[in-house]
Amino acid sequence: MILIQDQQNHDASFNLALEEYCLLNLPMDSSYLLFYVNAPSIIIGKHQNTVEEIDTDFVQERGIRVVRRISGGGAVYHDLGNLNFSFIRPYRPEHFNNYREFTAPVVAALQELGVPAELTGRNDIVVDGRKVSGNAQARRRDRMFSHGTLLFRSNLEDVVRSLKPKPGKLESKGIQSIRSRVVNIGDFLPGTTGMEEFKAALVAHLFPGQGGAAQYVLTAQDLAAVQALADSKYRTWEWNYGSSPSFNLQRVQRFPIGEVDARLLVEKGHVHSAKIYGDFFSDREIGDLEQALTGIRYEQEELRKVLSASRADEILDGVGVDDWVKLLY
């Protein structure tokens, strides 16, 4: 196994592009291990509905990036206290969906460090019954990767809060995340203070007796291709939000003027239909607003622009554009 050179880049879009690039382009005469650490970000599973998984207000307040990955499974929160690992190797049918094949060496390394880790369920690593790692896989042609998280010293409050969607009824065909109790590995390693020290300890256990891990060094051409992939895919609204499955959104809120019941059908990231019901009084045709919303990109700033242009703040007394945005997004 070869260790892919650490790029010391904390941009989630870059790192997911790097992972996909390595999966597609590295010679498969060997297997590889890639480590990366992301700045605060939410990584959405390939088949998930992004807006169903996140607390959009909290994410925007904290400047948390939202990026979709190419593997399935649920949404996970990354920050500088979370270490991500990815085993990249030739595809074998008996290894796909066999998470024990890939997590066993990680569990063994943690145990050797004194952490009572174990694999539970299909793809989680737990310590004392609390989750420290979730894992997922992807396959392309004759190759695959199995990647996972390792909560070392993450902000657990943000882990929970960022993945808590706004209240309201939302029906989707997307795969929903399962919320789990979590704990930091660092709580069981009081003598290990930093991420680099933790990663070095894992590398020493995963590459025993090799006199140090052999490294695959990415060329300038490789890195340029990774940046191009990040720009064309992992930094785009179309991939991160527009690729979400179709969903129906219903949100109800009572204002002084009356109750407003908003319902949107969103397909391919755009509002396919909009209906607004309620017991309110208005001297404006609510159908005009419904028509203005239909066909637009379901994105917060796009909603704000259309609502402002439609003078939505004049439709219901005391209900401003910001109120409409919060209701609809």
- Which domains occur in the chain, in start order? 2-240 (3.30.930.10), 247-328 (3.30.390.50)
CB 13 within 8 A of CB 67: yes
CB neighbours of residue 65 within 10 Å: 18
CB neighbours of residue 43 within 10 Å: 24
Write down the residue that tokens 């790029």 correspond to: 7
Give the pairing of strands 65-68 and 270-278. Answer: unpaired
The reported pTM is 0.81
What was the pLDDT predicted at 166? Answer: 56
* Sheet-wide strand order for 76-78: 65-68, 41-44, 76-78
CB 271 within 8 A of CB 295: yes
CB 272 within 8 A of CB 287: no
For residue 322, report the phi and psi dihedrals to the nearest 5 degrees: -60, -35
Where does residue 322 rank: exposed (0-12), middle (13-18), buried (19+ CB within 10 A)? exposed
Query: How big is the CA angle at 101 (ends 10 and 151), to the nearest 5 degrees?
Result: 35
What was the pLDDT predicted at 296? Answer: 95
CA distance 294 to 284: 18
Q: How far is CA 19 from the centre of its chain?
A: 15
What was the pLDDT predicted at 257? Answer: 82
CA distance 171 to 51: 11
What was the pLDDT predicted at 169? Answer: 46
**Alpha helix stretches (DSSP H) within 63-128:** 99-112
Instruction: Tell me how far CA of residue 322 lies from CA of 262, 265, 273, 326, in angstroms.
Output: 15, 21, 21, 6
* Sheet-wide strand order for 117-120: 117-120, 124-127, 130-140, 143-151, 82-90, 32-36, 2-4, 215-216
247, β-bridge pairs: 172, 266
Write down the residue that tokens 């051409």 correspond to: 221
Nearest to 39, CA basis, from 91, 78, 84, 7? 78
CA distance 147 to 138: 9
Six-digit token pair at 89? Answer: 């190797």
CB neighbours of residue 291 within 10 Å: 12
What is the block-wise mean pLDDT of the chain (329 residues), using blocks of 10 residues? 94 98 96 98 90 86 95 92 98 93 95 94 90 94 96 92 65 54 92 89 86 88 98 95 85 88 90 88 85 94 95 90 93
